[in-house]
């Protein structure tokens, strides 16, 4: 291989080295530090021996058991709902793609709005003294703010999931729509010529081609919701917290022995996220082997 070709091949890899160094120092380095501290090694605070007691303490703590169940509930509910509605929105946009540009791009706007901004918006709209409550009071539908359903700081996590749905539905719709508009129309024409109706075309051709993208959207949204901190912290109930919030509470505890426990919780969150990444890779390989990449 000539030096020129070697340089051309190596240039893309050389360009991403600074990015990889930043990722390595911030994320990988932070994860290693958290793993070490979760084993009880904090010399600055007088803890210098490695132990698994912090993990035993976590898995036997009723707070952790309730928190991980609540986190899975929030993540699974919001992800499944956002995927179902996101696919529905994608089909609507696909059918109406001949409309004006504003309506075509309107569903993309929530994607660029930060989660913290959406959290504030949901708070002001759905709080018991928020916009919806005041409108219902003005219309005579409720007599006081206490009659309005509790969506913020509630144990069901409605406010949290409203934020996730606002962000994740357009995200899923964008992913699915991108693949939907690139599906070769010949498949659909052949199916129609063979006598397939619209439902058969949808279930036997369109959805199977979209399956990899739909699954990837679910895994991405689930992993994000599982590890998100700011939304559950701002809108969640103080009596029922997600794992990231639980880790934050333990980390800020005045009892120094709680800090390794917080790190153990963070390691568990990272492990679940890693499992989702590995599952995504396995699914990608599975669909690739079957010739159903669907635009990954």
**Number of domains composing the chain:** 1
Structure tokens at 232: 């559950």
Tell me the C-alpha distance between 201 and 90, whole Å.
17
Residue 294 lies in a domain: no
Residue 62 lies in a domain: no
Residue pair 282/216 in contact (Cβ under 8 Å)? The answer is: no
Q: What pLDDT, in 10s, does the model give residues 56-113?
A: 888 988 989 999 999 999 999 999 999 999 999 888 887 776 545 655 566 677 888 8
Domain with 243, as residue range(s), is 67-289
Residue 196 lies in a domain: yes
Residue 105 lies in a domain: yes
Residue 53 lies in a domain: no
Each residue of 214-253: b (16+ CB within 10 Å) or e?
Answer: bbbbbbbbbbbbbbbeebbbbbbbeebbbbbbbbbbbeee
pLDDT at 43 over 90: no
pLDDT at 186 over 80: no
Residue pair 226/273 in contact (Cβ under 8 Å)? The answer is: yes
Q: What pLDDT, in 10s, does the model give residues 110-155?
A: 888 888 899 999 999 988 888 988 888 888 888 887 888 888 888 8
Check which CATH number belongs to the domain holding 147 and give it.
Answer: 1.10.3720.10
Q: What pLDDT, in 10s, does the model give residues 225-266?
A: 998 999 999 998 888 899 999 999 988 888 887 888 889 999
134 backbone dihedrals φ, ψ, rounded to 5°: -65, -40
Residue pair 118/167 in contact (Cβ under 8 Å)? The answer is: yes
Cα dihedral: 238, 240, 242, 243 (round 10)? 100
Q: What pLDDT, in 10s, does the model give residues 162-181?
A: 999 999 999 999 888 888 87
Q: Is 42 helix (H, G, I), strand (E, B) or coil?
A: strand
Tell me the C-alpha distance between 64 and 262, whole Å.
11
Q: What is the pLDDT of residue 293?
A: 46
* Helix-helix angle 62-95:158-180, to 10 degrees: 40
Residue 210 lies in a domain: yes
55 backbone dihedrals φ, ψ, rounded to 5°: -70, -40
Residue 158 lies in a domain: yes
Residue 100 lies in a domain: yes
């Amino acid at each position: 291989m000539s030096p020129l070709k070697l340089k051309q091949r190596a240039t893309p890899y050389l360009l991403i080295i600074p990015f990889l160094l930043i990722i390595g120092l911030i994320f990988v380095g932070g994860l290693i530090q958290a793993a070490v501290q979760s084993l009880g090694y904090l010399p600055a605070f007088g803890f210098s021996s490695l132990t698994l007691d912090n993990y035993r303490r976590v898995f036997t703590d009723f707070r952790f058991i309730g928190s991980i169940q609540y986190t899975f509930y929030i993540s699974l509910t919001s992800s499944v709902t956002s995927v179902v509605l996101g696919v529905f929105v994608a089909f609507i946009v696909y059918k109406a793609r001949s409309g004006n540009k504003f309506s075509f791009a309107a569903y993309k706007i929530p994607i660029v709005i930060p989660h913290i901004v959406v959290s504030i918006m949901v708070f002001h709209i759905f709080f018991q003294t928020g916009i919806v409550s005041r409108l219902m009071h003005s219309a005579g539908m409720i007599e006081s703010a206490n009659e309005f359903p509790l969506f913020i700081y509630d144990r069901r996590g409605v406010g949290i999931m409203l934020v996730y749905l606002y962000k994740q539905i357009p995200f899923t719709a964008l992913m699915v729509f991108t693949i939907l508009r690139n599906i070769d129309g010949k498949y659909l024409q052949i199916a129609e010529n063979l006598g397939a109706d619209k439902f058969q075309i949808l279930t036997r051709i369109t959805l199977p081609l979209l399956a990899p993208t739909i699954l990837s959207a679910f895994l991405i949204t689930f992993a994000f919701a599982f590890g998100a901190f700011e939304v559950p912290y701002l809108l969640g109930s103080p009596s029922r917290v997600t794992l990231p919030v639980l880790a934050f509470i333990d980390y800020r505890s005045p009892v120094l022995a709680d800090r390794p426990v917080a790190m153990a919780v963070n390691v568990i969150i990272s492990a679940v996220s890693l499992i989702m990444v590995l599952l995504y890779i396995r699914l990608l390989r599975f669909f690739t082997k079957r010739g159903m990449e669907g635009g990954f």
